[in-house]
Structure 1
Amino acid sequence: MSIGVVIVTYNRIEKLKIALKSFENQTLLPSYIVVVNNASTDKTVDFLKVWKEKETSFSKYVINLSENLGGSGGFYTGLKYAQTLNSDWIWVSDDDAFPDKDALKNAKRFLNKKYSAVCGAVINNGKIDLSHRRKLNFKWCKVISKDIPKKAYSQQKFELDSFSYVGTIINKQKLRMIGLPRKGYFIWMDDTEHSLRLRTVGKIICVPSVKIYHNTGKEQGVSWKAYYGVRNEADMYRRNLPKRYFLYFCYFGLLKVKINNLLGRHKQFNVLAKKAYIDALHRKQGLDSTYKPGWKSAEYKK
């Protein structure tokens, strides 16, 4: 049960260095590391050129994209390439996720071809970040997503329905069955949507002894990423669930926007969300012309 690694990076060279060192220092080394550079404008290209030439006991591959395809496009590209390489499982990772030195060794004990994915416990600022592993409850027209409670992490393993790509290892055979991530999402919800498909071909489990450190701060104001979260969640329902889930999400969301506008609440988010719901109804994908990386709510002018 060999494990390869796919890392997607964009303009975070110092974090990328730590991430790569975290995999290079594993007690069980990966079969290979693929780094997808999402058209970084810092010195990532030069660094990766030097990194690739350093001799190691595992293979190294670098894909320098000519444009920023977002996390979704990056993982699509990396996983597509990794399917041609020699490994049974593929660890997917952002450049700001750093596995504990025993992560791959601890994961390998649980890799079983009946599973579609094996996830680790995400540690954020010294605490388990519960938001990365979730259970889904499907009502008549609504999906209720809940964090798996902290007490579950005292078990050797537990099942889940939805994961983030932080510290997730995907069964390559199952990946071939259900397909690659939705590259048109650009960012956010690509991993959740992938979870919905992977859970149809095998169980997804979390192994808490597999630890990943992911120290991230909170963004201030309305993030540009929120647009993609709303738009892509709607698209996820459209593709994977009966039509009523998609229609309820969009039209009930638009109703909430209208009510909030009347009450004078969440003005910046209302503008963003309304556009996201309408774009989802029109099946729009890719990078939006307004909500690009770096956009901040205070900069938006109606």
Structure 2
Amino acid sequence: MRAERASKPETVAIVVVTYNRADLLARMLEGLAALERRPDAVIVVDNASTDHTPEVLATAQETAALAGLEVLRPAENLGGAGGFHHGVREAYARGFDRIWLMDDDVVPSPECLTVLLAQDEDCLMAVREDTAGHLVEKAATRFDLRNPLAIRPKTGMVETEYGERARMPERVELENVAFEGFMVRRAVVDAIGLPDPSYFIFYDDVDYALRARRAGFRIWAVRDAVLVRQLSFDQQHDLSGWKGYFMYRNLFVVHLRYGENALVRGKPWLIAAAVVLLSPLRGGRAEAANVIRAMRDARGMRFVPTGSVD
């Protein structure tokens, strides 16, 4: 198989999911058009945007600045998870050798795709910097689902371990990823199936990485494959609002599905109880209601999806 790949260049499709961030998307598409190694297809899943995203995409298609640009527009917002499920399914069905997943708020450096395709690995991650050139790669180098005392399972990440991209080795092994520059070969989809759309937002990328690693794949961050993130990571989500519900629910699902012992799998109940008990002091009734609902719904998602791509 490796000899066959060496004699025949691999094809690659980029899958982008977007929703109501037209200006970010426009800059991102410009970055894709400037890649020195052009992708064979760019599949944009527009999650029923209500801003001028359709106009941005139509202009990009009319000017043909980005060859192979195709738009999938579901009738409703499927969330990031549903969008990636939809886009990866399409790319896989069309037979591309590699699938590169991206949000609409990152811009690749011109050589990014060239550098990634030079790596003969099944799972790769580009490295994110901010617009000032600072390393902001938060993919986990350690994701602990064994220790029940680990409040957050992510106990190490690229940014905190290295500080600067120049200090990284050429490749760093990861234990989870973000769908902002994650590339997989179709063999990965063969083995583990598609991203799980039931997450809607948050943790769908973590889930996919955990499934890949469970199937025996190793994941590598590639130092010289750079993505520039247009937004900062300092946005705070309201845990008493709708995003808070998904953050709690999906964190609980990851523990229930992949916790390596009974204590870790029981941690969601402890977290939920603590949030409810502390709700008079922080979060209030809305957060308490969110976490109770999240715990209930997470139990219904506790089984790992099959490897089917249907």
> Could you say which TM-score interval applies, normalised by the shorter chain?
0.7 to 0.9
Structure 2 unmatched runs, 5+: 1-9, 303-310
Check if 1:120 corresponds to 2:126: yes
| Distance in 2 (alpha carbons) for counterparts of 1:283 and 1:166 | 24
Partner of 1:32: 41
| Distance in 2 (alpha carbons) for counterparts of 1:65 and 1:241 | 34
Runs (4 or more) in structure 1 with deviation over 4 Å come to 140-143
What is the count of residue pairs matched by the alignment? 280
| Distance in 1 (alpha carbons) for counterparts of 2:122 and 2:253 | 22
| Distance in 1 (alpha carbons) for counterparts of 2:60 and 2:70 | 10
Partner of 1:276: 294
Relative to structure 2, which stretch is displaced further, 55-64 or 202-211?
55-64
Shift of 1:213: 1.0
Shift of 1:2: 2.7
Q: Is the 8 A contact 1:31 1:86 kept in 2?
A: no
Give TM-score, length-normalised by structure 1. 0.84
Tell me the alpha carbon deviations over residues 56-75 of structure 1, each in whole angstroms, 9 at most, x when there is no partner: 67422110110001000000
Within a 5 Å distance, the mapping from 1:128-207 to structure 2 comes to 128-139=135-146, 141=148, 144-146=153-155, 147-148=157-158, 149-150=161-162, 153=165, 154-200=168-214, 201-207=216-222
Within a 5 Å distance, the mapping from 1:87-126 to structure 2 comes to 87-110=96-119, 112=120, 115-126=121-132
Q: Is the 8 A contact 1:5 1:92 kept in 2?
A: yes
SS in 1 for 2:125: strand
| Distance in 2 (alpha carbons) for counterparts of 1:254 and 1:212 | 36
Shift of 1:228: 1.0
CA RMSD of aligned residues (A): 2.4
Q: Is the 8 A contact 1:35 1:62 kept in 2?
A: yes
Q: Is the 8 A contact 2:14 2:100 kept in 1?
A: yes
Partner of 1:70: 79
Shift of 1:276: 1.7
Give TM-score, length-normalised by structure 2. 0.82
Check if 1:265 corresponds to 2:265: no
Q: Is the 8 A contact 1:92 1:167 kept in 2?
A: yes
SS in 2 for 1:251: helix
Shift of 1:84: 2.0
The AA in structure 2 aligned to 1:222 is D
Q: Is the 8 A contact 2:33 2:66 kept in 1?
A: no
SS in 2 for 1:26: coil
Partner of 1:55: 64
